[in-house]
Every structure is written in C-alpha cells, then in structure tokens.
C-alpha cells in the first residue's frame, strides 16, 4: 500500500512540475513578445501571471516535504523528490527573470523607432527550447539529454556577449540612449540567467537519474 501511495504522489509532483514549466515557458515567450513588440498589455499579463508560478513552486515544495515525512522514500525515489524541489525553485526564479523582461518592456515604450538586436529574439527562442528539452529529460530521467541541453548554454553565453559588444559599440557612437541600452542589456542578462538556471536543472536531472552530484562547468558538459 505504501508503494502505491508513493507512486501516486510522485506522479502528482511531476504533473505539477510539468504544468509549472509550461507556465514559465509561456512567460518567457510572452515577455519577449512584449519587449520586442513594445506591447504593454502583454507585459502586464506576464507580471500578473507570475503569481501562479510562485504558488505552484510552494505547492510543489509542500508536497515534496509531505512525501519525505510520511513516505520516507529511498534511493531513486528520494532523488526524484529532492530534485523536484530544486527544479521547482529554479523554475520560479526563471519566472522572475521573465517578469523582469516584461517590466523592462514597460520602460522602453518611448523607443518605438529604436532598433532591437536580432540576437535577443534568438536568445529567447533558445531559452524556450532548452527549457522544453530539459523538462523532457527530467520526465524520462535521461542524463545524456541533460548533458546536451547544458551544452546549449554555451550558445546562450556567446549570444549574450554578442549583444553586449554590439550595444557597447552603438553607445560609444551615440546611436542609442543610455537608458535604452541599459534596458536591452538587462533583458539580455535575464535571458542569460535563464540559461544558467536551466543548466542547474540539468544537474538535477543527472542526479535524479544516476545519483551523481556534479556542477556542469563548460569542461564537463560534453560527457
């Protein structure tokens, strides 16, 4: 009977985590739509919807703690519960980054004629793709897929550097205002941090599937 209850609780946690990741994915997509399209209505929606992401994070944590206390999972089940808690936290913070981009969208409403670096959209698209892939890896307990997703963060980092250097050059040439450049840089930084948090999730996927606890710096991502 205990095993049946534990299995049901693990399935419920995973379902909530999948729903949370879907909300975060939507938040990232909408925040980029709001920022690049200068759409204040969408930006306000992203900011408002962040409350549900926060609620799910704490609901998942509470469910995990209840399972730890009442079911005393061991081995692989224990790793899944612990990883689920950590991933929920990372997803909630990714939602915060999306909200940050949405708030920046409200700040750049007066710059409708200013150019946006195309690489910003590429960063947003990559972040969504990485998130979708790492959650798939977690559901399948696929460590190899997690390594592959972590490798993609190097692309995200390179894109962030490209945005930084492009904007710095335009600022030096007095082609853009300082406030506008800072808004673009903060948006790019939020996207870069989303990539970093996805790498953290990759580490949890590897732990859940293999029991290995390791930090995925650039030298270890190709294993």
Angle, vertex CA 96, rays to CA 91 and CA 101, nearest 5: 125
Structure tokens at 153: 């963060």
d(CA 138, CA 209): 8
Number of domains in the chain: 1
Question: How many C-beta neighbours within 10 Å does residue 155 have?
Answer: 14
Structure confidence at residue 206 (pLDDT): 97
Structure confidence at residue 221 (pLDDT): 54
**Residue 79 lies in domain:** 2-220
Nearest to 9 by CA among 75, 58, 91, 78: 78
Residue 223, pLDDT > 60, answer: no
> What CATH code is carried by the domain that includes residue 182?
1.20.58.220
| Per-residue pLDDT reduced to its tens digit, 79-90 | 999 999 999 999
d(CA 218, CA 111): 37
pLDDT > 90: what percent of the chain?
78
8-state DSSP, 110: T
Max CA pair span of the chain: 70
Structure confidence at residue 118 (pLDDT): 87
Residue 220 pLDDT grade (very low, low, confident, very high; cuts 50, 70, 90)? low
């Amino acid at each position: 009977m205990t095993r049946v209850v534990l299995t049901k609780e693990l399935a419920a946690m995973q379902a909530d985590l999948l729903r949370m990741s879907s909300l975060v994915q939507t938040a990232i997509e909408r925040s980029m739509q709001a920022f690049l399209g200068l759409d204040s209505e969408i930006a306000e929606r992203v900011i408002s919807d962040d409350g549900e992401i926060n609620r799910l994070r704490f609901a998942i944590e509470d469910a995990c703690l209840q399972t730890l206390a009442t079911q005393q999972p061991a081995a692989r089940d224990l790793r899944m519960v612990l990883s689920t808690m950590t991933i929920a936290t990372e997803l909630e913070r990714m939602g915060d980054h999306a909200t940050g981009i949405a708030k920046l969208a409200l700040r750049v409403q007066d710059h409708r004629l200013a150019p946006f670096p195309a690489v910003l959209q590429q960063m947003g698209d990559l972040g969504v793709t990485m998130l979708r892939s790492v959650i798939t890896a977690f559901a399948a307990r696929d460590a190899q897929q997690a390594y592959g997703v972590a490798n993609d963060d190097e692309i995200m980092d390179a894109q962030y550097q490209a945005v930084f250097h492009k904007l710095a050059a335009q600022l030096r040439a007095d082609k853009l205002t300082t406030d506008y450049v800072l808004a673009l840089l903060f948006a790019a930084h939020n996207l870069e941090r989303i990539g970093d948090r996805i790498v953290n999730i990759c580490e949890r996927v590897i732990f859940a599937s293999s029991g290995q606890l390791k930090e995925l710096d650039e030298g270890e991502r190709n294993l």
